[in-house]
Amino acid sequence: MMKRTVHRRMTGVTVGKEVFTDLDFADDVSLLAEMLEVLVLALTVMQEEASTLDLQTNWSKTKILQVPSSSSSSTVKVADGHVEVVDAFVYLGCLIDSSGGSRGEVLRRIGLARSCMNMLERRTWKSSIRLETKLRLYQTYIVPVLMYGCEIWATTKYTCSLASMHLTHGHYARY
């Protein structure tokens, strides 16, 4: 279905000498285009191709991220639905925003890790459990939440210092 959607070479984003048309994972699809009008056309073609297979596009879950961010319309009419134009959205568990950087995702991950710490605080961190066990719990439950998707973070002094600070000198290091 995706090959028929992008086969006309109208969609895609050029990076160096490569043209990327779509990113697919299971039932999640990201279509890429350099112009909004082309993207709307590709989404319409995708809807038509999906309907031949008795599949439907959930327009309320579909989002358009315009880079750089634009102050134009907040929704776009596509086929038989309306698609929201957003500054950021979560794709495969990671925050993607119009800045193209990692700052928003790093801050989001820190917030999620902090929430996990707060959920465990009453029962675990303030209990009489040995420190070694608490550290093992931290490494098992908190660090993966914080570091999920870190492979795609832009390596800047800012992101490195934020992640490092929360891994080694965070609020809960005193336990």
Q: Are 13 and 33 in contact (CB under 8 A)?
A: yes
Judge if 115 and 64 occupy the same domain: no
Judge if 143 and 121 occupy the same domain: yes
Chosen domain end from 94, 111, 137: 94
- 77 in a structural domain: yes
Judge if 138 and 106 occupy the same domain: yes
167: closest CA among 129, 102, 145?
Answer: 145
- 173 in a structural domain: no
Name the one residue in this structure whose structure tokens are 């957003």. 86
pLDDT of residue 41: 86
149: closest CA among 101, 118, 106, 100?
Answer: 106
What is the span of the domain harbouring residue 151? Answer: 101-168
- 161 in a structural domain: yes
Judge if 8 and 90 occupy the same domain: yes
- 174 in a structural domain: no
Q: Are 82 and 72 in contact (CB under 8 A)?
A: no
Judge if 76 and 25 occupy the same domain: yes
Q: What does each of the 175 residues of the chain score in pLDDT, given as a tens digit?
A: 555 555 555 677 777 888 777 777 777 788 888 788 888 888 888 888 888 889 888 898 888 888 777 666 688 898 888 999 888 888 888 888 888 788 888 889 989 998 988 888 777 877 888 989 988 988 998 899 988 888 878 777 777 777 676 666 554 444 4
Angle among Cα 14, 96, 167 to the nearest 5 degrees reads 125
Q: How many domains does the chain have?
A: 2
Chosen domain end from 94, 128, 154: 94
